[in-house]
Amino acid sequence: MYIHASKSPLSIKSSILRATVGLTVVWLAGFGGIARGGVILTDYPRLTEHSASFSFNLDTASQVTLFWGSANGGTNPVAWQSSPPPNSYAAGNFTNQLTGLDTFRKYFFAFRAVAGGITNWTAPGAFRPQVQGLVYSTGFETSELFPFNPGDLNNQGGPLPWRVKAGSASVGTATTAHGAQAVQVTGGWVDLSCLATNPVLWVDAFYFNAGSTNPPMLPTNTTAASLFFSTASGLLALDGDGQGNGVFVQVLPTLPASRFLRVSLRLDYQAKHYDVWVDGVAQRTGLGFKDAAATRLCGTQIRTSQTGYIDDYSVSIWGLDADTDGDGLNDLDEAKFYGSYPLLADSTGSGLTDMQKVTAGLDPGDATSYFAVQMDTDTHGTPRVIVPTITGRQYTLQRIADLNGGAWTNVPTMSGFNGDGTAWTFSETNGAPASFYRGSVTLPGGAQTLIYPWLTNP
C-alpha cells in the first residue's frame, strides 16, 4: 500500500483518476491473517501456459498438502485428482508450484495444513494456466478468489488491497456496471496498490460520476496519466510534458448522466505516452506523461467530491486494440469478461470459437457450456426434440429429410422463438418422415446468426 502526501480531503473538489508510479508498496499485515494453524494464500496464483505458482503463509509449523485436479474435491482428500505427499514447513512464507499443466484447462486447488493434530483447509480456488496478462482484475464481487464483501472498501480484495484514504467508500449493490456489486465513493479518495513493471499496460475501469465544477488540477505526485471528470468540459486528460506539467485536453465533450463510462488507458512506459479509450473506442492517442520519471505502474488514485461509482477495474497487458487469436473478441475483453484465452480462438477445445460461444450466450471459458439438444420419445412414442434456451437469444429449429439433397426448412412452430432459460420441446407428428434437425441462434436484432448442427432424428 502506498502513501501519498496529500491535501486535506475537504479541500479536494475534483473527480480525478491517476495512474501513479514511484511509490513504496507494502503488504498489509492483516491480509487474510486471521485464522491460526492454516495456509493463508498471499497472492493470486501466478500462471504460465503450463504452470501455476502459489504463494502462502504459515503462522505455525505444519504438514502442507496441495490438492489439485479438474474437479473440486472440497475437504475430502480422496476426492481430489492429485494428492501429492505433504511437505513439512516451518512458519513463514513459501511458494509451491505445479508444472506440466494443460494450457487454459480449468483446475481446482486447495491447501490442507496439519499441525498439532488439527487439520485446516483453504477454501477451494480455481485457475487456468495461461500467459498471465491480466495483472489484476476485480468486479468487486463476493465470488472472487479474494472476495469483496458488502461494506467498507478498506483492505478488501487482497492481496492487492484497496484503501480509502479519505471520505467514505464502500462495496454495495446500489449501482453496478456488471455483476451484483460495485464501489460507491461518497466524496473521498480511494487508492489501489498495484505494482506492475510491464512496458505497456492497460488500466481499464467503469466510472459513474457527474463530474466536478472546479477546473482540473495537476497531480502533485509523480504521475503518468491523469483524467478529470468535469461538469462543464466533459472528460479531460492531461497531456503532460514529462517535466511535471502539462495541459488538460478534451476527450469527451459531455459526461453521460445516467450510466457508467468505460475508460481505458493504454500506458506506454517506454515511449512515455498514453492513449485514452472510451467505451471501447480510441478517443485520444499519444498524450504525454506528466512525469517522464514514471517507469512502472504503482497504482491508481481516484478522488471525487460527489457520490460516484467504480466497477470492473483491471490492469492488463491485454488490450482493446488487438484480437491476437483472430476469434473476433479483443484480447482485453476475452481475459477480463469472457473468461476465454486471448491466444486461443477455441479456448476450451469445444469445436466452436470463443466468439461463436459468446454470440450463442454460452461461456467460452467453460468446456461444458455447449448446446446439448436431446432427442427422445414421449409416452406415445412420438419423437421429440428438446432445445435448451438462453434468455436474450432467438432460436430457430430446422429440419431436412435427406442430408444428400433438398433444403433445410424451418419448423413452423419453432421459428424465431425467444429463449427464456428453459428447454423448449418440439414433438414430431405421428408418421412424420425421419428428419435431421439443426438450429440457429441469433443475437438480439439479428446482428449475427450462427448455425449449429444439433441432433439428428435417430
CB of 297 to Ca ion, least distance (A): 24
Minimum CB distance to Ca ion smaller for 323 or for 363: 323
CB of 415 to Ca ion, least distance (A): 32
Cα four-point dihedral sign 188, 281, 337, 332: negative
Minimum CB distance to Ca ion smaller for 53 or for 448: 448
Binding test (CB under 5 A) with Ca ion, winner from 203, 237, 329, 397: 329
In contact, 145 and 160? CB cutoff 8 Å: no
CB of 265 to Ca ion, least distance (A): 21
CB of 231 to Ca ion, least distance (A): 38
The span from the CA of 204 to the CA of 276, in Å, is 10
Interacting span for Ca ion (CB under 5 A) from 13-21, 24-32, 86-94, 329-337: 329-337
Binding test (CB under 5 A) with Ca ion, winner from 291, 311, 312, 325: 325
Binding test (CB under 5 A) with Ca ion, winner from 141, 191, 327, 363: 327
Which SS3 state, helix, strand or coil, does residue 59 take? coil
In contact, 185 and 169? CB cutoff 8 Å: yes
Q: Can residue 340 be called a binding residue for Ca ion (CB under 5 A)?
A: yes
Cα four-point dihedral sign 323, 392, 314, 247: positive
The burial class, CB within 10 Å (0-12 / 13-18 / 19+), for 197 is exposed
What radius of gyration, in Å, describes the C-alpha atoms of the chain? 26
Interacting span for Ca ion (CB under 5 A) from 257-265, 276-284, 297-305, 318-326: 318-326
Minimum CB distance to Ca ion smaller for 275 or for 325: 325
In what side-by-side order are the strands of the sheet with 383-388? 374-377, 383-388, 423-427
- Strand residue runs (E) in 132-173: 134-138, 151-152, 162-172
Cα four-point dihedral sign 167, 170, 173, 176: positive
Minimum CB distance to Ca ion smaller for 334 or for 363: 334
Minimum CB distance to Ca ion smaller for 122 or for 350: 350
- Provide the grid cell at 257: 448522466
CB of 344 to Ca ion, least distance (A): 5
- The region, left, alpha or beta by phi > 0 then psi within -120 to 50, assigned to residue 328 is left
Closest to 185 (Cα-Cα) out of 300, 13, 302: 302
Q: Can residue 335 be called a binding residue for Ca ion (CB under 5 A)?
A: no
Q: Can residue 311 be called a binding residue for Ca ion (CB under 5 A)?
A: no
The span from the CA of 239 to the CA of 431, in Å, is 74
Binding test (CB under 5 A) with Ca ion, winner from 275, 323, 363, 428: 323
Minimum CB distance to Ca ion smaller for 239 or for 323: 323
CB of 357 to Ca ion, least distance (A): 10
CB of 317 to Ca ion, least distance (A): 14
Minimum CB distance to Ca ion smaller for 204 or for 323: 323
Alpha-carbon 362 to chain mean position: 16
Interacting span for Ca ion (CB under 5 A) from 238-246, 268-276, 331-339, 375-383: 331-339
In contact, 453 and 361? CB cutoff 8 Å: no
Minimum CB distance to Ca ion smaller for 311 or for 334: 334
CB of 73 to Ca ion, least distance (A): 29
Q: What are phi and psi of 203, to 5 degrees?
A: -105, 115
CB of 355 to Ca ion, least distance (A): 7
Minimum CB distance to Ca ion smaller for 256 or for 328: 328
Minimum CB distance to Ca ion smaller for 233 or for 348: 348
CB atoms within 10 A of CB 408: 14
Q: What x-and-dash track marks residues 353-372 binding Ca ion by CB under 5 A? A: -x------------------
418, β-bridge pairs: 394
CB of 327 to Ca ion, least distance (A): 4
Closest to 298 (Cα-Cα) out of 20, 73, 111, 31: 20
Minimum CB distance to Ca ion smaller for 204 or for 354: 354
CB atoms within 10 A of CB 368: 10
CA torsion 78→79→82→83, rounded to 10°?
Answer: -30
Closest to 214 (Cα-Cα) out of 16, 346, 454, 435: 16
Interacting span for Ca ion (CB under 5 A) from 56-64, 79-87, 105-113, 334-342: 334-342
CB of 343 to Ca ion, least distance (A): 7
Number of residues that bind Ca ion (CB under 5 A): 7
Residues that bind Ca ion (CB under 5 A): 323, 325, 327, 329, 334, 340, 354
